[in-house]
Amino acid sequence: MRQAIHLTVAMAALMSLGACMNNGDAAVRDAMKEVNVVDATDLNDVMLTVADPNEAVAYFTRATTQDPGRIDLMRGLAKSLVRANRATEAVTAWKGVIAHPESTSDDHIDFADALIRANMWDEAEVELDAIPPTVETFDRYRLEAMVADANKEWSRADSFYETAVGLTVRPAPVLNNWGFSKLTRGDYAGAERLFYDAIRHDPQMFTAKNNLMLARGAQRKYDMPVIPMTQVERAELLYTLALTAIKQNDIAIGKTLLQEAIDSHPQYFEEAVRSLAALEQNVSH
């Protein structure tokens, strides 16, 4: 009798467990789906930051094919195309993103960025003008400054650059761009100050150091400034300064700077050697 009672209880427990398992299938599937989404989101972030750009393009191309209409995947593809320097394709991808009902103002700003990279300046200006003025972000003002520069609207460009610098904790690239803008306008002293600021914020930025040589050379300042530099960088900066001097017909100074660049370089400085040889040959004739 006792065995019968135990058997009945056991069967009831099994039936109850089976019912719980059946009722929980949907919940388990939902939970697994959430886990997979989290994993995919992490992978998406990796692809957008540290992965090879072309591998990221391939990944997001597959993902958008398998799950069309997901705006995060569409954004990933568009951003990866920009990283891969495939600007024309990126423009097409961003058009799909901004047409999506869940697109944001940031998407329109990124679209304008892609248009600039594709040398479609007029279209970029139209896109930026369509963004509400209440959207005040670093990227928005950085792009506004670049468009104003392209239009030679210098006061607007300066205003946008200044605003952009105030909206980022890493202003070196913007300061460098602003300095280059001043350089192209012929404001060499203003450019020099901005390049110094860029280097102060990012002592590793060689582009700003090289641009500084151009700005100083244009003012016939041929001494080396006190900035952080490696031995190789010193040689390359001397080379830039030498070419600037030669361009301004300061030939003797240019030759001296070329020789100093050759002597400073820890290896064989082929470009400087070739330039010095060509200069001496032209002078001898």
Please provide the DSSP assignment of 195-256 as one string.
HHHHHHH-TT-HHHHHHHHHHHHHTT--SPPS----HHHHHHHHHHHHHHHHHTT-HHHHHH
pTM for this prediction: 0.79
Same domain, 92 and 36: yes
Report angle CA 224, 230, 233 to the nearest 5 degrees. 65
Same domain, 204 and 269: no
Residue 188: DSSP 8-state: H
**Mean pLDDT, the chain cut into blocks of 10 residues (285 residues total):** 40 41 51 48 81 91 94 96 96 97 96 97 96 96 97 97 97 97 97 98 98 97 96 97 95 95 93 90 67
Domain boundary among 103, 131, 148: 103
pLDDT of residue 60: 94
> Would you give the DSSP letter of residue 67?
S
Same domain, 224 and 238: no
Domain range for 278 is 230-285
Is residue 127 included in any domain, yes or no?
A: yes
pLDDT at 146: 97
How many folded domains does the chain comprise? 4
User: Do 177 and 191 sit in the same domain of this protein?
Assistant: yes
Q: Would you say residue 68 lies in a domain?
A: yes
Residue 21, domain member (yes or no): no
The answer to whether 138 touches 171, Cβ cutoff 8 Å, is: no
Contact 163, 185 (CB under 8 A): no
Residues 180 and 216 in one domain: yes
> Is there a domain that residue 19 lies in?
no
Q: Tell me if 8 is assigned to some domain.
A: no
Structure tokens at 219: 């003012």
Looking at the structure, tell me whether residues 184 and 153 fall in a common domain: no
Asked whether residue 198 falls in the same domain as residue 208, the answer is yes
283 in the same domain as 247: yes
Domain identity same for 38 and 84: yes
User: Same structural domain for residues 76 and 130?
Assistant: no
Q: Are residues 241 and 257 in contact, defined by beta-carbon separation less than 8 angstroms?
A: yes
Does residue 268 sit in helix, strand or coil? coil
- Same domain flag for 163 and 184: no
Among residues 196, 212, 228, the one where a domain terminates is 228
* 14 falls within a domain: no
Q: Which of 166, 145, 142, 167 has the alpha carbon at shortest distance from 156? A: 145
Secondary structure class of 284 (helix, strand, coil)? helix
CATH number, domain containing residue 109: 1.25.40
d(CA 237, CA 221): 13
Residue 114, in any domain of the structure: yes
Q: Are residues 37 and 75 in the same domain?
A: yes
Spatial separation of the C-alpha atoms in residues 126 and 128, rounded to whole Å: 6
The pLDDT, as a whole number, for residue 281 is: 82
Question: Considering 186, 206, 228, which residue would you say is the last residue of a domain?
Answer: 228
Residue 11, in any domain of the structure: no
CA 99 from chain center: how many Å? 24
Q: Which pLDDT belongs to residue 173?
A: 97
